[in-house]
Amino acid sequence: MSRSLLCYGIAFWSGFFVMAIELLGGRLLAPNFGSSIYVWGAIISVFMLALSLGYLAGGRWSLHTPSLTRLSLLLLAAAATALPVLPLTGEPLERLAIAIPDPRFGSLAAATLLFFIPTFFSGMVSPYCVRLIVDGDATSGRRAGQLFFVSTFGSAAGTILTSFYLVLWFDVNDILLSLMGVSALFAALGLFAGRKST
């Protein structure tokens, strides 16, 4: 598998992963904070802020010996830092809701606690992929456009599949574990390809 093709696949999956986690976030916060516009505003704000900072960090990190191995580690970090979401959604969220009864600020704190770090690492993926697939100034704009098309298409696919089907068929925790598992598989593929190319 070529490096470019693998980068496109990772970018697609990263977009899918982010939107699936974001939608599941509404389900996870609902028992303690409800599902009002305040809660969704908090979730969306946290994801947008984490992604924007991740884009900056990913662009800067791509300047230093970019490789498939490092890209794969970013994907693995996003999956690994999403693992604490599972134990934190029970009693810890209930305690947080008691400590911060205002649903606006309580849900904002909860969304930050659960999702900021994995979303930050996910945000680093796309600019890092751009760095790996751009092979010259003349094609940089086209390559970046293709990459962001694939990433955003993955986000749309994650949104549709998660909201229309996955939440109807599976438990939220099972979906989360499956998402992390697929991320780990992509990361393993990238690590293998990166080692093979060195």
Q: Where are the domains of the chain?
A: 3-197
For residues 11-21, average pLDDT: 95
| Distance of alpha carbon 81 from alpha carbon 186, whole angstroms | 16
Please tell me whether residue 171 adopts helix, strand or coil conformation.
Answer: coil
Q: What is the pLDDT of residue 90?
A: 82
CA-to-CA separations, 181 to 13, 25, 43, 68, 175, in angstroms, rounded: 12, 18, 23, 19, 10
pLDDT over threshold 80, residue 48:
yes
Place of tokens 């393993």: 188
| pLDDT at position 122 over 90 | yes
The CATH number, out of the four listed (1.10.1060.10, 1.20.1250.20, 1.10.10.10, 3.40.50.1260), of the domain defined by the range 3-197 = 1.20.1250.20
Return all residues near 99 (Cβ < 8 A) that are at least 6 apart. 106
Q: What percent of the chain has pLDDT over 90?
A: 62
Q: What is the mean pLDDT of the chain?
A: 89
Whose CA is closest to 176, among 79, 45, 47?
79
pTM: 0.91
Phi, psi of 61 (to 5 degrees): -70, -30
What average pLDDT does this structure show over 54-65? Answer: 89
**With bands split at pLDDT 50, 70 and 90, how would you rate the model's confidence at 99?**
very high
Has residue 137 got a pLDDT over 90? no
